[in-house]
A and B are shown apart, each in its own frame.
Chain A
Amino acid sequence: MNVLIVSALWGVLMMFTGAFLKSNATVRFLAITGMLALVVVNILEMKGIHLVDFNIKDMMEFDRTSLLFIAVATISSLIYLLLSAADMERVGKYYSEYFALLFFIICGITLTSSFRSLLVLFLGIEIISIPLYILTGSDKRNLKSNEAALKYFLLGSFSTGLMLMGITLIYGTIGSFDTLMISKPTEGGPTSVLLIAGMLLLMFSMAFKASVAPFHFWTPDVYDGAPTVFTSFMATVVKAAVFIAFIRLFSDAFGNIQPQWQLFVAILTVATLFIGNITAVFQQSVKRMLAYSSIAQAGFMMLSLYSMNGDAKEGLMLYVAAYSLATIGIFAVLIKMSDYTFHGFNGFAKQQPLLAATTTIFLLSLAGIPLTGGFIAKFYMLKAALGTGQHLWLVIFAVLMAAVSVYYYFRVIQAMYFKESEIQAIAFHISPAFKWTLVILAGLVILLGVFPELLLNYYYF
């Protein structure tokens, strides 16, 4: 609740700073302070201190999962701002508006991670999506950016339509938007066809937002076309939020009819893993590779939806944290590069040993090598999926695809360490603060891999 209020207010505040503040540095400082404030007020709420208290009439519920995820999201966003806020200056001249939109997205994320009514879910998804359409097209003179924004907007509004349709059908059957009510009447007698249809429509639209195959077609183009600073945010915090909403929706509202959709989710998982990983192998641009990698990682996250047990929920939290942190780190480095292809990374280790070392840690985490957060996250997913006791082939398929993923992540490492190049890979200024933030981020990734309890303990204590 704290974050919801503060982020909305701060977003409005950021909009006005553009009119009154001349210096970009002040705007940036204000934005980072705001994000820090969000982290703090969320921690306060985790400790039981509420800034405001009013009746939300069971529309939302701030339970441990949602507070923990908001913590992950705000901390990731804070690191993201620390690393990349300065690079937003290069996108266009409406510097303060970009921050305002980011705060609105955080506001939407608080809604989607704590909804109990489908209306709030819908509101949250829209509050996330609309600023994203704008950010995607924020590089106004770039045709690719324009194309990406239009494509994203058209397809995104289509999927929103599907979601509304689904909610309507469910409301028609149950007579309520409340997830608790939805899960109630189906106990016992046969499940209503309308409810199933509504659930499928919701699944499709959420799958679209989470770029799960076969609804992923917008992802590579949009991620590639959008300014890289915003791709970083979209592919990490936003994607994580959608997944948390996805699992929240399906465990709360449709958890009791899991057998009816489990196989369906398994098929989506296989398709996502296959398409994401295999296509990523053939990419020449690291940015596009990361877009496909985000699809591939979504496939792994789908395993939590498939298994839907205790491990799955904890694992998903770890997964989104590990994935977001590592991807933010890689993008932060990528933004500074002059050439986005794999060749652009040639000789990087010689020129920038520290950046190369941290990037390697992030890549190892994404590939799921032990001692990194990525490993323990994948580990939880596999454990959860095996815990269901069926469909062993799904798990084996997932690990085969994980082995494929090593191929494209390690291509970057190969370029950095084993190939030489005379051309300076870094095109923009690297400040010491940037380096230190990256080192801390890499430290977090490793800390998460060695002591995952640090994050998960909040579930229990």
Chain B
Amino acid sequence: MIAFLLILVPLVTGLAAFFLKNEKTAKTWSLLAALATLAIAVAGLTLYKDAQYLEFNAAWMSTLGSSFAIKVDGMGQVVCLLNAVAYPVVFLATWKTHYNKAKNFYGLMLLAQAGMMGVFLSMDALLFYFFWELALVPMYFLCSIWGGERRIRITFKFFIYTFLGSILMLVGILYVYAKSPMHSFSINSFYHNGLSFPEQQVVFWLMFAAFAIKMPIFPFHTWQPDTYEQAPTATTMILSGVMVKMGVFGLLRWLLPVVPVAAFQWGDVVTSMAVIGMIYASLIAIRQDDLKRLVAYSSIAHMGLMAAAIFSENTSSVQGVMIQMFNHGINIIGLWIVVEIIERQFGTRKISQLGGLAQKAPAMAMFLVVVALANLALPLTNAFPGEFLMFNGIFNSMVTQYNIVFTVLAGTTIILAAVYTLNMIRKVFYGATNELTNAAVDISRNEKLALALIVVLIFWMGVYPQSLLNITQETTDLILRKADVLPLLKK
């Protein structure tokens, strides 16, 4: 029931939002809806964590071998929680932002949430594909209607890019379906598909295309900085905080266990791409003058690390990815909130035009510094255990011979991240004020609340990451058991 409600509540409230009258009601309505979803997600973690509440099956398209099977497993808990936490925070933080036809904006946002929930819960490949696309369509409208100047062209590129990826994934799914002995789209049938090695390679690249574009992994990242820049900031938060996790999630649930041999064979290639992307994105981030683009490139670097960790295939790295999915989402939303506040107040995102904000807005400066340090994975902040586990995993990986090279190269991005993040803090918050920032006022209560929530999560996960690690342990073991190819190769 929990699983079903997680999709149903945002779906119904989202559809209802289209019929609301004014902006104020729409905002209150969607915030309440998001809080309700959060309550359900938390209930699924605490009160109702027995299997009977977390699973839901219904007949649907049975002639095709598909069914409406959803389930919250350990990995699902974490990403659903991220999705559920992100929305109230985003709505609170952007409370003051004005939107034309706000009801449509909030309706589409909630529909996107329903789509993403579906992606995280599906236990049926066809259903997974359905939700994967359904999450995309509201995003297309959100970015194209409420985005920046070049929104239409940029969003179109984003849409066609991701659509191309997902339709290739559809071919991959159909290919597994056609070859698997059970002739079903259920995850069980996909995990016991009996594909030969060459067939696995075909499926690997077809499905990898979708996930790599979504994450994005270098060189499929070209849509990302532009889209983040042009999308309305609330949408960017969801896009970068939650939606790109669909790519990571897809790799873990639908790629690694389904085609383990191909993942083993191409692991080095993918990791190389990811590491190149990390260094490349970090170097570009250093040169950025636009705050949004800086955060966008920093996100590419972080996602690259997750990709590299996934293909290292050991408990440490995969567990690291699991908690990092949550932590990266929280941190980047925090960064975007600060960017949004700055942009709303000064009408610019150019680092060169800002300065000395800490004197005028001490609370904002404090929050930003905490979030930025978390982005750097400083100990005690949430990203530290995640990144540590991932680096540890990459270093000790049994599936590649180049683990030391990968670790060293990926490790340099920690330093590069410090360069661009600290540089940004210095230029924006310290130094002398100019005529633009002289009139700065500090953040409002709503924004404080949202940022405080993020800071609490940052420290909680930084000090006690075990609370998430315990939840995901079982899923990690399952994925790694499925992905283990060494006995297969010996045969």
Contact = CB atoms under 8 A, between A and B. Distances in A.
A90 to B, nearest CB: 34
A399 B137 contact: no
A371 B134 contact: yes
Interface in A347-406: 364, 368-371, 375, 379, 382-383, 386-387, 389, 392, 395-396, 399-400, 402-403, 406
B170 interface: yes
B161 to A, nearest CB: 9
Given A364-B137, A386-B175, A389-B178, A396 B168 contact: yes
A387 B152 CA distance: 38
Nearest to A364: B137
A414 B156 CA distance: 9
A63 interface: no
Contacts of B202: 392
Given A386-B174, A396-B168, A414-B156, A370 B129 contact: yes
Nearest to B130: A370
Contacts of A419: 152
A403 B178 contact: no
A217 interface: no
B160 A406 contact: yes
Contacts of B311: none
Interface in B132-154: 133-134, 137, 141, 144-145, 151-152
A29 interface: no
A370 B129 CA distance: 8
B159 A399 contact: no
Contacts of A392: 175, 202
Contacts, number: 68
Contacts of A369: 133, 137
A243 to B, nearest CB: 22
Contacts of B152: 414, 418-419
B478 interface: no
Chain A interface bracket (under 10, 10 to 19, 20 to 34, 35 or more): 20 to 34
B141 A417 contact: yes
A396 B205 CA distance: 12
Nearest to A402: B167
Contacts of A417: 141, 144-145
Given A410-B159, A414-B152, A386 B61 contact: no
Interface in B158-200: 159-160, 163-164, 167-168, 170-171, 174-175, 177-178
Contacts of B160: 403, 406-407
Contact of B171 (A386, A387, A407, A410): A386
B170 A452 contact: no
Contacts of B130: 370-371
B288 to A, nearest CB: 27
Contacts of A402: 167
Contacts of B174: 379, 382-383, 386, 395
B144 A418 contact: yes
B61 A452 contact: yes
B401 interface: no
B170 A379 contact: yes
B173 to A, nearest CB: 10
Contact of B170 (A382, A387, A410, A453): A382
A316 B428 CA distance: 60
B63 interface: yes
B397 to A, nearest CB: 32
B167 A403 contact: yes
Interface in A419-461: 419, 451-453, 456
A375 B151 CA distance: 27
A406 B171 contact: no
Nearest to A419: B152
A415 B271 CA distance: 41
Contacts of A403: 160, 163-164, 167
B171 A396 contact: yes
B116 to A, nearest CB: 14
A407 B163 CA distance: 11
A370 B134 contact: yes
A371 B118 CA distance: 14
17 contacts: A370-B129, A370-B134, A375-B133, A379-B170, A382-B171, A386-B174, A389-B178, A395-B171, A396-B168, A399-B167, A399-B170, A403-B163, A418-B151, A418-B152, A452-B61, A452-B63, A453-B61
Given A379-B174, A383-B174, 17 more contacts: A369-B137, A370-B130, A371-B134, A379-B170, A387-B178, A392-B202, A395-B171, A399-B168, A399-B171, A403-B160, A403-B167, A406-B163, A417-B141, A417-B145, A418-B145, A419-B152, A452-B61
Closest 7 pairs (CB-CB, A-B) = A403-B164, A399-B167, A370-B130, A370-B133, A386-B178, A418-B144, A386-B174
